[in-house]
Structure 1
């Protein structure tokens, strides 16, 4: 097929743009096309029996069809065959006929281009013969070195005298970049083109020579059977020959530079260990299994912020201001924290050496939601130091804290070291949350690690098993939190000072809600203060009837629920400017009340006594009930009680029996059942017969709730004494205390929570052990002490005197 069979040039013909392949006029080549414009161009050429021009896209413009996105010189040819493929592509057989220059291209008609033939400049055969001879020699040299060079090409160019044909043939097999290939392709001065081809072949010959030398060097070092290793060594040798460096060497250099920078701040053994591992990594092949482990270790060590400390000086005033801004009440905890930092400020101010954290580690103890972790957050903000929180709840594996030895798969540093890395400082505030919930098992006892971390004599040389050297934790400020200090092992308790954080009173909850929770939740929900009306009575109702907790966490959730519903109302009714929440409509927002401490009964009862109990969510008033049944003096106890309370019931029964026997508890003879013989013979019945002829059933309601603890002794004793003597118990009296067999009242814990519960239940009198009265009464809120009378009792007789009517 010749160009003469088609319209004369210049003319507008379809344009096909390839991404990689330069075609030449002598070629018949298959093209695989997926681009929509290319497919349309081919179909138009076939339908209209037209020629097409195939051009190549420029670097960076692959797949695009815009002005200047492709080269303006291509090959004019025709489509010999077209085959449609299943994936939407087409395969065409293209025959090149001549070179063409794209004169113009209109982006609005992207499948067409205005094309004219590209003719080579005139030349004489004599002028290029000598160049062609040199070119043939260079091609022969290249073919001897490059085994992939087409063997039949030598014969073709030997038999051909057409300089343009020879140039096209050789250009088509050279390995050159796209830009260079275009320069050779578009050159119309044949002498220049042949000389450029010669230069390109010379460069390729040199490249093959260097590659051959490199191959020989590599083969002398390794066995021929290690094919994968050979290829990597070859790449390495090529990079070295080119004067470059591989990635591993760059990384090793960076590690050494970083290690040198922190050398003065690292422990000596840490520097020695890290340097040793870097040297070991540099000698190790990068594909070795240990290479990745070593690299991970080095990166972890270099991530530890050695020598980086917060520059902010400790200021007790800042600490106090921050604590007061963030927390209402909590006077004693805030005072103790400020004292702790006052000592530290004095040591810094007077530049007293050896100021490692010799002070006691503070541990906040109290029910959930009273602000233990929040206090630690305030300390962190006041000192402008990062906060690291380590949750210890349920942790059983000692390696979680101390790190894993590097011999184990998946080894990593412990949480302490990871905390320092995250904080990016060596003196952060570290919160050890829920330290009372640490557990020991076959994988070790995390408590033992805590002993080292919290001991000021040891923590300046804390040894992480993964790092394998000691790091200094003495500049860290450790704050622990716990719900129950009794569950902390004695050795660990000895290293901490406990700051009790008991329940909030209703008045304290009101102020916290008003000054902190409500403004914060309004902001979170995108509300303005003017859009919500909440009266004091409504807030107090929410506190008393919709939450039952020591802290304020659930109270925050209740306000969040209120404001969610308020937002929905405001969005549904755009005319509504304000949502009013009061005691009349609160059920629309929160349904029915959930919690309510039962107020004191108005009538006195026989065998029903108000006991005070401590729970994880604050205090509670438990009614202890008893009935007597004809029997033989046995006692049964129900109500899901623990072993301690079961023992208390037996002690209480024995104490009451002893009081009856000693006539300290008077029993009316009329209430003692008599046998028929005793009735007939009018035999006097002894008072002790009252407990011999009755069985006692003692019950604490809400049987599904587990109950235990050493504080219900006097309450059980009063209940048993009441049912046996048939004397009423005052309904407005609540009590707490444990009994001994001799009738002495022992002190108890959680007094503040218990008395707050009595206050909420509107009790008039609370009976507490004498030692608690002397020791703990000053901690009780004034509003509680003013609302009811609190009396101290020493023995059970004192209790019965106050409780029984």
Structure 2
């Protein structure tokens, strides 16, 4: 392709700015474009089938795209091919044709300039040939001391007689700074251009000679170092054979020094055990297996931070402030934690030793995501003590806690001692996470070790099998966490005081999201507060329809999902400025709702009753459905019911039968199916025939979800009474309670979660056992108590009176 194939110069052509490459007319080179102005310039050149001028940027102006940031000369050439890469960049294949200079600026977006070709001045061919011969001689010399010039390039230069082409070839091969390369590039006087090149190559020859000399010296030095290394290794082997290995003596001396430094803070037994092992190590041959084992033991033991304690004095005010700062709500758990540390601060002020304060071990119990571990983090921050987390989930090997005996391969201290080493102090805050999930196997029962660790009477002399001496854990603040305290063995449960963290109400979740989750997630996703907002209605929709949990872990995930989409929108469209999530556009961020507690539909139905259930992720409203089919008094149960719930159904059926027999539940004679003779002779049928001539089918929807527990007793009885008597059930009434054969209503657990579920489902009236009404209502949030009419019941007759619409 020739320059003459295009329009005459000077001409107005696009300008592409190149930061890294300094191109020359003979080159065919790929150029990667990743900024808008360069892409536009390339597009214009392709569309108009015109040439482009590729100009380098001035030093210090890399990345800028303006006429002030570039040299006013570059290579005129054509774009042979243009390809869009997967990462968004544009790759063009550029063919240089001639040197060009900008003579007039035309446009700055994209860069377009009036460009003219740089023509060389006339020259004396004999003089130029002489200069080129000198240049070739210099290049041959440079190729002997440097690897920059391959033989093919030298041959090309010797065979070529075009001075400008030779100058461009050499300039592109040797390393020249941009200003020098530019001066060479724009030089119109060929003679001057060759003289400049000869000077640059002469300097390069001197530099290469110096580098070669330095490399030679360095190589000699390396050989000398290697020689010394091998001699030293030989000397070391000779010393070992003679028993005079100074390095090993230094190691042993270092062990003795460390031991003596820790002696004032160690028990006598511990000091004797460690000293005995150092003495054994000193007597052993260094290559024996026992020597390696003892050295590993000494490295572990001398890392234990004997005598190192967090120095900060305990202040209850600091604990209270940190808890309030990090957690919203949780009033009772916070109060109990503050009381716990008040005792410790009082003991510290009155000079009572820590060993004499036999405080209980706190265990935070509750569903996932309610803040158990983060409460421990807050305590650690307030006390300025290191936090050590020991995950006990699935732990089966007792040696994981107690330590392995040193006779085993790969033996090491237990997790408790390793936690002290990691913390670097003897009084950290140690979180025993998921203590309810500790396993039991042929390798022992870890709960038996936890008994010793958590017992204030024993943990001042906790024995680790690997250490083989007692270690004092009395100043460690142990905090356990559990989801289900029923899974914790009785003796271990007896050593802990449980602080229960129950479900958050929707209002509490809203405040937590607003105060903590959204600011934290904005920070994690590099967004400013001014760039993202979510309305109250939208946040409430996220809480109610997109998460179903007692805590806020999934709520945090949904907020992160929205913020990620917002970050992408802002990155894609910088002019956007701010992303606002509202109730109208929330589907753009979170798709369709996942969970929904069905609200009451206000239509009374026969045999359908609202029951309240507790689940691991909070409360729920379960509709218990009952139908009757002509039969002989059979009972069919479906819905993945557990044994306890099946028994509750049978008890409920017996109780309702008793009520019918005693006349306390009136059954209309007209609803009982009669034989032809009874209809013809108008024989009155006994009420008991209603349960003799019908089969019952009780079903609890969501059959894939297992359900168990006794608290659906009164709900099932109400459903059975409704279907037998064809009484409609009030749709805005929900209930929970265990039922006995005599019709008594017994108390249940999980009342807070159940009432919150009733509140979410917009129930108006809730029936609960009287004992729960007396003892548990203080724990119920005020917003729930104000919205619901909570009625205490003691017998099934009271339940039926409130729930059924009698004819």
Q: TM-score, normalised by structure 1?
A: 0.72
Which residue of structure 2 lines up, in the alignment, with residue 594 of structure 1?
594
Q: Distance in 2 between matches of 1:447 and 1:314?
A: 31
Which residue of structure 2 lines up, in the alignment, with residue 678 of structure 1?
678
Which residue of structure 1 lines up, in the alignment, with residue 238 of structure 2?
234
Which residue of structure 1 lines up, in the alignment, with residue 76 of structure 2?
none
Q: Distance in 2 between matches of 1:338 and 1:481?
A: 18
Q: Distance in 1 between matches of 2:389 and 2:222?
A: 61
Moved runs in structure 1, 4+ residues, more than 6 A? 37-40, 110-113, 177-182
Equivalent residue runs for 1:310-321 within 5 Å: 310-321=310-321
Aligned-pair CA distance for 1:248: 1.9
Aligned-pair CA distance for 1:233: 5.5
C-alpha deviations, 1:573-605, integer Å up to 9, x for none? Answer: 111121121111111111111111100121011
Which residue of structure 2 lines up, in the alignment, with residue 706 of structure 1?
706
C-alpha deviations, 1:537-587, integer Å up to 9, x for none? Answer: 121111111111111111111111111111111111111121121111111
**What SS is found at the alignment partner of 1:610?**
strand
Which residue of structure 1 lines up, in the alignment, with residue 747 of structure 2?
747
Report the CA distance shift for 1:693/1:181 in structure 2 as closer, same or farther (over 3 A).
closer
Aligned-pair CA distance for 1:443: 1.1
**What SS is found at the alignment partner of 2:776?**
helix
Q: Distance in 2 between matches of 1:518 and 1:343?
A: 36
Which residue of structure 2 lines up, in the alignment, with residue 536 of structure 1?
536
**What SS is found at the alignment partner of 2:342?**
helix
Identify which range, 670-679 or 398-407, moves more after superposition. 670-679
Aligned-pair CA distance for 1:107: 5.7
Preserved contact between residue 545 and residue 594 of structure 1 (Cα < 8 Å): yes
Aligned-pair CA distance for 1:660: 1.2
C-alpha deviations, 1:637-669, integer Å up to 9, x for none? Answer: 111111111111111111111111111111111
**What SS is found at the alignment partner of 1:335?**
helix
Preserved contact between residue 734 and residue 758 of structure 1 (Cα < 8 Å): yes
Q: Distance in 2 between matches of 1:758 and 1:263?
A: 63
Preserved contact between residue 347 and residue 357 of structure 2 (Cα < 8 Å): no
Equivalent residue runs for 1:523-672 within 5 Å: 523-672=523-672
Aligned-pair CA distance for 1:623: 0.5
C-alpha deviations, 1:700-748, integer Å up to 9, x for none? Answer: 1000111112211111111111111110111100111111111111111
Aligned-pair CA distance for 1:689: 1.1
**What SS is found at the alignment partner of 2:426?**
coil
Q: TM-score, normalised by structure 2?
A: 0.72
Preserved contact between residue 636 and residue 698 of structure 1 (Cα < 8 Å): yes
Q: Distance in 2 between matches of 1:774 and 1:180?
A: 87
Preserved contact between residue 401 and residue 449 of structure 1 (Cα < 8 Å): yes
**What SS is found at the alignment partner of 2:205?**
coil
**What SS is found at the alignment partner of 1:709?**
coil
Choose 1 or 2 for highest CA Rg.
1
Q: Distance in 1 between matches of 2:235 and 2:628?
A: 95
Q: Distance in 2 between matches of 1:564 and 1:542?
A: 16
Q: Which runs of 5+ in 2 are unaligned?
A: 1-137, 156-201, 211-218
**What SS is found at the alignment partner of 2:240?**
helix
Q: Which runs of 5+ in 1 are unaligned?
A: 1-11, 17-32, 45-104, 114-176, 183-206, 212-227
**What SS is found at the alignment partner of 2:499?**
strand
Q: Distance in 1 between matches of 2:799 and 2:592?
A: 38
- Matched pairs, number: 610
Aligned-pair CA distance for 1:531: 1.7
Report the CA distance shift for 1:354/1:384 in structure 2 as closer, same or farther (over 3 A).
closer
Which residue of structure 2 lines up, in the alignment, with residue 689 of structure 1?
689
Q: Distance in 1 between matches of 2:352 and 2:608?
A: 63
Preserved contact between residue 145 and residue 205 of structure 2 (Cα < 8 Å): no
Q: Distance in 2 between matches of 1:747 and 1:578?
A: 52
Which residue of structure 2 lines up, in the alignment, with residue 254 of structure 1?
254
Preserved contact between residue 37 and residue 111 of structure 1 (Cα < 8 Å): no
**What SS is found at the alignment partner of 1:303?**
coil
Aligned-pair CA distance for 1:232: 7.1
Q: Distance in 2 between matches of 1:35 and 1:685?
A: 118
Equivalent residue runs for 1:193-342 within 5 Å: 234-236=238-240, 240=244, 245-342=245-342
Q: Distance in 1 between matches of 2:551 and 2:379?
A: 20
C-alpha deviations, 1:62-116, integer Å up to 9, x for none? Answer: xxxxxxxxxxxxxxxxxxxxxxxxxxxxxxxxxxxxxxxxxxx976167879xxx
Q: Distance in 2 between matches of 1:495 and 1:324?
A: 28
Q: Distance in 2 between matches of 1:609 and 1:594?
A: 24
Which residue of structure 2 lines up, in the alignment, with residue 416 of structure 1?
416
